[in-house]
Amino acid sequence: MKYARLYDQLRKWELSLSNSKNNFYEEFNEANATGTLEAINCDEDLDVIKLDLELNKDIVLISKKMPENQKYIQITVGTPVAVFVENRIPESLVDREHKLEKGLFAIYCTNYNEDLNWHLSKKNENTLLHLRMSKSYFESFTNETSNLKEMMDLSKSFYLLEDLNPMMKIIFDRIFSLDRHQLYYPKRIKNLIEALLYNFFTNITNRKEVKDNNKYSYNYEPVFKAKQLLNENLNRIVSIDELTKSVGLSESRLRVLFKEIFGTTLNVYHQDIRLLKAKENLLNSEKSVSMIAMDYGFSSSSHFSTAFKKKFGYSPRDFIQQQEGKSA
């Protein structure tokens, strides 16, 4: 069968989601699928599955219900098209306060103990990390604050998601760029995973603190609306006047609350996500650097190149040459 080998390897993933601690690596370069699937047993506390596939057919896998005494917590990081679990999560558990924004990367965390669907979409790049953490390792993060302990209480079911901020996206990309033959590869993976998790848990506890603080409670939703407007307008500069009119906050209030919640300024956040999307398109488009710069609202190719080098440490052309050298 055309998809027999692919399904066979993906069944290993399903098994890994449940109880396997075996390492495996499979590379696909076929008409039906291109990319890689890898499972890494970092240590007794952490197993990681790396999936990077482009398919010509939608595939749905089901992570079977864990035993009641299961010792693991699942966290998934990746493209929203790669995972749909909300339709199988009870309404009462869904994180309504921070909905997934279409087209962006996100991190999902749940201890929900039922079957979950995992949807790999055709004609899309399905890129995700699936983490299986021991409960003690998980609690080493959540026990840091009372907010985290409340929101991720293991005696109750919970389901949370968070968009990847620019720093988390950089870490995510670094994990996928590592050479699996490198010395200390599992330890390198775990170090990067921990950096990703520190950002995730910090963001979760920060938004809980803002919500619980009375002086911010009224303005909590408009700040996330401002962030969504920035995410939806990557092809141009969004003025502060446009943002304040759209969300109903004063300029000073919006600037202060945005920095308080997301740890960065409006301008820096918007430029960072535009640079990240432009970086992706440098490899996936036949457009010139100057055309991509214009697509993401930069006034000139030189302005784009200067911002790009300041952000990533190399120019757009150097980046393209580096990637072409790797694939040669």
For 37-88, write each residue's pLDDT tens digit. 888 989 989 999 898 888 777 766 655 555 555 667 888 888 654 444 444 4
CATH class of the domain at 214-327: mainly alpha
State residue 275's pLDDT score.
93
For residues 15, 38, 316, 304, the Cα torsion angle rounded to the nearest 10 degrees is 20
113's tokens: 């103990």
Q: What is the mean pLDDT of residues 168-176?
A: 89
17 close to 132: Cβ distance less than 8 angstroms: yes
pLDDT tens, 222-276? Answer: 887 898 899 899 999 999 999 999 998 889 888 888 887 777 899 999 999 999 8
How do strand 59-63 and strand 33-43 relate by DSSP bridges?
A: unpaired
Distance CA 27, CA 30 (A): 10
Q: pLDDT band at 307, cuts 50/70/90?
A: very high
pLDDT for 294: 94
pLDDT-derived band at 98 (thresholds 50, 70, 90) equals very low
pLDDT > 90: percent of the chain? 27
Q: Would you say 260 and 210 are in contact if contact means Cβ atoms under 8 Å apart? A: yes
User: Tell me: the pLDDT tens digits for 104-162?
Assistant: 567 878 776 555 556 666 656 678 888 888 899 999 999 998 888 888 888 877 777 77
Report DSSP letters for 4-30, one per residue: HHHHHHHHHHHHHHHT----EEEEEES
Q: Which long-range contacts (CB under 8 A, 24 or more apart) does 321-328 make?
A: 323/283
- pLDDT > 50? residue 185: yes
189 or 74, which is more confident? 189
When pLDDT is averaged across residues 87-112 and rounded to a whole number, the result is 53
CA angle, residues 68, 143, 79, in degrees to nearest 5:
70
User: Alpha helix (H) ranges present in the chain?
Assistant: 4-18, 135-142, 146-151, 166-177, 185-212, 214-217, 220-232, 240-247, 251-262, 266-284, 289-295, 301-312, 316-327
Contact 7, 32 (CB under 8 A): no
Backbone dihedral region for residue 236 (phi beyond 0: left; psi -120 to 50: alpha; all else: beta) = beta
Pick from 108, 105, 82: which is nearest to 94 by CA? Answer: 108
Please give the pLDDT value at position 327: 58
At 48 the three-state DSSP class reads: strand
User: Residue range 298-310: average pLDDT?
Assistant: 93
Site of tokens 């890898």 = 38
- Looking at residues 292-296, what average pLDDT do you find? 94
Secondary structure class of 292 (helix, strand, coil):
helix
How open is the CA angle 306-309-312, to the nearest 5 degrees? 145
| List of residues 6+ apart from 50 with CB closer than 8 A | 36, 37, 38, 39, 40, 128, 129, 175, 176
**Predicted confidence band of residue 288 (pLDDT cuts 50, 70, 90):** very high
User: Poorest-confidence range of 10-14, 41-45, 77-81, 185-189?
Assistant: 10-14
Dihedral of CA atoms 246, 247, 250, 255 in degrees, nearest 10, equals -110
Higher pLDDT, 121 or 179: 179
304 pLDDT band (50/70/90 cuts)?
A: very high
Give the relative orientation of helices 251-262 and 220-232 as an angle to the nearest 10 degrees.
80
Between 164 and 291, name the one with better pLDDT.
291
Q: Give the model's pLDDT for residue 138.
A: 93
Of 68, 72, 67, 69, residue with least CA distance to 136: 72
Residue 155 pLDDT: 83
pLDDT digits (tens, 9 = 90+) for 213-225: 544 444 467 887 8
Per-residue pLDDT averaged across 172-180, rounded? 90
Residue 189 scores a pLDDT above 60: yes
